[in-house]
Amino acid sequence: MRLSTFLTTAFALTAYAKPVTGPVQEEAVPKQSFNFKRGLGTESKHLRLETRQETEQTIGSTGPNPTVEGYAEGAFASGHPYGSTSGKGSIISGGTNNRVDIENPSNLGQDPTDNGLVPNLKWWFSDSKTRLLKGGWVREQVIQDLPSSKDIAGAQQHLKKGAARELHWHRVAEWGFVYAGRVAIGAVDEDGKNSWDVLEGLDDENEYLLVFDDGNFVATGTTFNVDDWIAHTPKDILAKNFGVNASLFDSVPSPNPYIAAGNVSSEGIDHPYGDLSANKSSSYVIHSGDVTPIQAPGGGGTIQIFDSRSFPISTTIAASVVTIKPGGLRELHWHPTAEELVFFAQGQARATVFAGNTNARTFDFAAGDTAVFPDNSGHCVINTSDEEDLIWIGIFKADRVADISLT
């Protein structure tokens, strides 16, 4: 197990998180992608934070535009399950959420190729209960929300400037992607090696996606917070364990804060037992600016892959960041080794899933939605916007990203 203020196995940073490593070598100069950049460097054996402001564009959008040409036809565009061509269906006369119906014409039966029974494969983070904390918030998507996602659970977490996610560890692996702001990350492994690249917000507002390689993340015995442990241990035992006066533990918070407000730290740290960030194989951080995007033939989009080949410490979680241009299509394909959990970070999409034995279902997605594509299920994703790039993060409980294209 590895003790950290944020993560226990792996963390991928966008340019919004500035690395706090040694001087950047010439070969490490990043390639441009989504305006991701590297920012910090230091000659000191201490790792000290740089808090200069950048003018990066945050990934994200607030909702779909269902008025785009081709998004919905006929009565479906008004939120009614009626096909003017087929003559099937009729209007909804009873209670309904018309806005949701308009934004999700696929659920109304618009796609004539849908067939059979495919379970729900979609969750909205907007339907998750948000936990408000001093210094930020968190909301989760676990197996109780999306039963089809057995391998992966997810969460959105937000830190205000100077706030920190308290010291903790997990039974499961944790992986994260910063899509707004900048954060500093620290970790300690079982041999005492550490890094400071403690989860702390550096900009006024900072936000990221977290994923865990177990859909039942809320099960007892999965998350362990240090303040929680200390608060439930007798003070005389604590005093004896640490060789200090018991009164030092009079102010231990209870319940544990989870996220604590604070100020950005300028203090550095030493590495008496070794530096986790000293080499690629033990680093908990990878910067997306250092991962070359693969350009799709024809210019329809890009894909960046973060797995054990580029991020060696991440042996149980692999990920891809996919960008699709307006009207572009992620071609028909399937994943032979693991189910895929998708977090739609920006834009709007439509995906059709083929589950075999004539079963198929189409879903509409917007920023903040998650989807799960069962392993070996055929699927494709199209950008339904006429002006905005679609960006999603695909997560797999595997050591590498693997897919088979129908073409």
200 is known to lie in a ligand binding site: no
Structure tokens at 29: 């100069």
**Beta strands 122-124 and 200-201: pairing type?**
unpaired
158 is known to lie in a ligand binding site: no
Which segments within 162-220 are labelled E, that is strand? 164-165, 168-170, 174-180, 183-184, 186-188, 194-196, 200-201, 205-212
205 is known to lie in a ligand binding site: no
Q: What is the dihedral of CA 396, 397, 400, 404, to 10 degrees?
A: -50
232 is known to lie in a ligand binding site: no
DSSP-based three-state secondary structure for 235: helix
CA-CA distance, 400 to 333, in Å (whole number)? 16
Q: Which residue has the tokens 């739609």?
A: 344
Structure tokens at 311: 């991020």
Residue 67's CB: how many other CB atoms inside 10 A? 10
DSSP-based three-state secondary structure for 382: strand
Instruction: Report whether 167 contacts 198 (CB < 8 A).
Output: yes
Residue 99 phi, psi dihedral angles, 5° rounding: -60, -45
174 is known to lie in a ligand binding site: yes
Burial call 304-326: b when 16+ CB within 10 Å, e when fewer:
bbbbbebbbbbbbbbbbbbbbbe
46 is known to lie in a ligand binding site: no
Binding positions: 168, 170, 174, 333, 335, 340, 379
Q: Which residues are annotated as a binding site for Mn(2+)?
A: 168, 170, 174, 333, 335, 340, 379
